[in-house]
Structure 1
Amino acid sequence: MATTAIPETHRDLIEGPYNAALTTMMPNGQPQTTPVWCNAAGGDILINTMRGFRKEKNMRLNPRVSLLVYDPRSPLRNIEIRGLVVEMTEVGALEHLDELTRLYTKKPDARFFGDSVPAELAGRYHPVKITIRPTRIRAEG
């Protein structure tokens, strides 16, 4: 069933910790898919990446994206979200990334830099929080 609201039956897939596959469009029109962590904020989906990464560049050029999350215990249970990137910001991005790190590692004090990747990378990478507004949601299973 297609909608623009996250169905309660599949909200757990967005609120994690399930890896999502994010598809963006390359400048030449080819799709590019990468794994991401995600969570929900109201009706929007939040993800995080680093400034200058390919997916970040792609979303700045073309805000149309697709996100697929499936239940590893029952792979036919999944949610596909097509949407538009409505905000990309570095404000609050590190805090959001730390929040995702705690969710996905199940460690209450975890931080992305130091617990997920080496702490010394903190000076080289700059997190970007991305807000995706769904235009179509399809849930199965």
Structure 2
Amino acid sequence: MNRVIPDGFMDLVNAPPVAALTTIMPDGQPQTTVVWCDYDGEFVRVNTMRGFRKEKNMRLNPRVTLLCYDPREPLRSLEIRGCVEEMTEVGAMEHLDGLSLRYTGASPYFGACVPAELRATETPILCRIRPTHVVGLDARKKKAAS
């Protein structure tokens, strides 16, 4: 079972155009949301807010799947199944500001991306996911060398 993200797919896990995180609801149903993510060489990192459904789901059941893809390349994707090993407020705001800059070109998150007032009611949570199964798919036809 492959637990390593292939070099040729790093662009899909480090601020990809699209990433979707699937968690498990208390009743066993899957729940999927679009997220921002990056990879620190050991963990895939996503950010959520305290009290959000995906945060609650990951605390109840740490098994998740992250699907990263580029809509401009529909035959290329990266699936990462893993286990959430840590959920913390420590470093979460800095991580979120960094993701905001990578994904939108604007930072800080509160003020540049979403209304600054939300900072008073939302608390970022940094989630570290250890990959347990990684599948990179590239079904594009290779162009002949000229």
* TM-score interval (norm. to shorter): over 0.9
Q: Distance in 2 between matches of 1:112 and 1:91?
A: 16
Q: Which structure 2 segments of 5+ residues have no match?
A: 139-146
Q: Which structure 1 segments of 5+ residues have no match?
A: none
TM-score (norm 2): 0.92
Specify the SS of the correspondent of 1:27: coil
Alignment identity in percent? 58
Partner of 2:17: 18
The answer to whether the 8 Å contact 1:19/1:38 transfers is no
Quickly say closer, same or farther: Cα 1:121–1:129, change in 2 above 3 A.
same
Matched, 1:140 2:137: yes
The answer to whether the 8 Å contact 1:80/1:139 transfers is yes
Q: Distance in 1 between matches of 2:33 and 2:10?
A: 21
Q: Distance in 2 between matches of 1:64 and 1:13?
A: 20
- Which residue type is aligned with residue 134 of structure 2? I
CA drift of 1:43 comes to 2.4
Q: Distance in 2 between matches of 1:93 and 1:43?
A: 17
Partner of 1:76: 75
Partner of 2:143: none
The list of structure 1 runs, each at least 4 consecutive aligned residues, that deviate by more than 6 angstroms after superposition, is none
Partner of 1:30: 29
Partner of 1:61: 60
Q: Distance in 2 between matches of 1:119 and 1:113?
A: 5
Matched, 1:89 2:65: no
CA drift of 1:18 comes to 2.1
Specify the SS of the correspondent of 1:121: helix
CA drift of 1:19 comes to 2.2
More strand by share: 1
- Selected match of 2:110 from 110, 113, 122: 113
Q: Distance in 2 between matches of 1:50 and 1:18?
A: 21
Specify the SS of the correspondent of 1:42: coil
- Which residue type is aligned with residue 77 of structure 2? N
Rg comparison, structure with higher value: 2
Matched, 1:130 2:127: yes
- Which residue type is aligned with residue 117 of structure 2? E
Deviations, residues 75-95 of structure 1 (Å, cap 9, x unaligned): 110000000000000011001
